Amino acid sequence: MLTKEKAIENLDEIIKKVEFVRLQVSQHKIVQIVGVSKYNTSDDVTSIYKAGQRAFGENKVQDLKQKQEKLQEYPISWHFIGTLQKNKINNLIDLNPVLMHSLDSLDLAEELDKKLKSRSKTMNCLLQINSSYEESKSGVEPKDAVDIYETIQKNYLNIILKGVMSIGANSEKKEDIIKSFTLTKEIFDKCDGAEICSMGMSGDFELAILNGSNMIRVGSSLFKS
Ligand SMILES: *Cc1c(COP(=O)(O)O)cnc(C)c1O
């Protein structure tokens, strides 16, 4: 269980680190922090919320639903960051996430759009790109990403594309991680109207910001006790 003091200390430490690198990139750039609560209890989320954090993300539809229900008294912005199974699409639509980070194929976009249409709803989404070319990771291939982005924008009108998302390369080598981030940033710059470049987790968010991220997703470093 996260104490009040520890929650404040963790959040402050992350904000300080974000600020330090953010100012090296631009005075005007805003970097949003999404607290990833997937391994934590609602009580822990409450502690971080009370320290000032307002955006949280979950990677399973069922967990998102449970946390939303338990924490409904708080004005939390809920993000969805996990792989979405087609049979869970309707459940996710019901939960109204502010942003869905993990639109990872045209196929999923088609299904999601169809279900959104039939309910007269829209969803803000990011196109997930597998910029590290790792088989274990979801996402579209970098070479197809801009085309897929445009296809979704043109054909799937109930999906509001806001930008792109990537998970940094799982490597000890800094160059590999940087390479995956710069590739995502290059694609982001080519996507018409893209505003959000979601990349960076506990282990690599500083590198991500230095290479173009404006939204980071931090779990373990925020919730460490
Ligand atoms: C778990 C997860 C995170 C947070 O990871 P940490 O290393 O704990 O900060 C970020 N993004 C995605 C997609 C995740 O699944």
Q: Which atom of ligand 1 is nearest to the CA of 81?
A: 13
Q: Which domain holds residue 14?
A: 4-20+30-128+141-163+216-223
Please choose from 14, 17, 38 the residue to mutate so as to test ligand 1's pocket, defined by most ligand atoms within 8 A of CB.
38
The whole-number pLDDT of residue 112 equals: 98
Average pLDDT over residues 5-10: 97
- Is the alpha carbon torsion for 188, 33, 121, 127 positive or negative? positive
The confidence band for 52, taking pLDDT boundaries of 50, 70 and 90, is very high
Q: Could you tell me if residue 89 is inside a domain?
A: yes
The whole-number pLDDT of residue 27 equals: 87
Chain segment 61-108, per-residue pLDDT in tens: 999 999 999 999 999 999 999 999 999 999 999 999 999 999 999 999
Domain count, the chain: 1
| Whether residue 60 has its Cβ less than 6 Å from ligand 1 | no
DSSP string, 31-56: -EEEEE-TTS-HHHHHHHHHTT--EE
| Whether residue 220 has its Cβ less than 6 Å from ligand 1 | yes
Q: Could you tell me if residue 207 is inside a domain?
A: no
**Residue percentage of the chain with pLDDT more than 70:** 100
Q: Could you tell me if residue 134 is inside a domain?
A: no
| Whether residue 84 has its Cβ less than 6 Å from ligand 1 | no
129 closest CA partner among 101, 151, 110: 101
Give residue 55 CA to ligand 1 midpoint distance, Å: 14
Question: Burial of 136 by CB count in 10 Å (0-12 exposed, 13-18 middle, 19+ buried)?
Answer: exposed
The whole-number pLDDT of residue 16 equals: 98
Give me the CATH number covering residue 34.
3.20.20.10
The confidence band for 117, taking pLDDT boundaries of 50, 70 and 90, is very high
| Contact criterion met (CB below 8 Å) for 168 and 177 | yes
| Whether residue 219 has its Cβ less than 6 Å from ligand 1 | yes
Backbone angles phi, psi at 224, to 5 degrees: -65, 140
| Contact criterion met (CB below 8 Å) for 204 and 16 | no
Nearest CA to ligand 1 atom 13: 81
| Whether residue 65 has its Cβ less than 6 Å from ligand 1 | no
| Whether residue 137 has its Cβ less than 6 Å from ligand 1 | no
Q: Could you tell me if residue 87 is inside a domain?
A: yes
Q: Could you tell me if residue 193 is inside a domain?
A: no
| Whether residue 38 has its Cβ less than 6 Å from ligand 1 | yes
Q: Could you tell me if residue 45 is inside a domain?
A: yes
Q: Could you tell me if residue 76 is inside a domain?
A: yes
The confidence band for 1, taking pLDDT boundaries of 50, 70 and 90, is confident
Give residue 193 CA to ligand 1 midpoint distance, Å: 26
The confidence band for 17, taking pLDDT boundaries of 50, 70 and 90, is very high
Give residue 70 CA to ligand 1 midpoint distance, Å: 22
Stretch (H or E) spanning 169: none
Stretch (H or E) spanning 163: strand 159-166
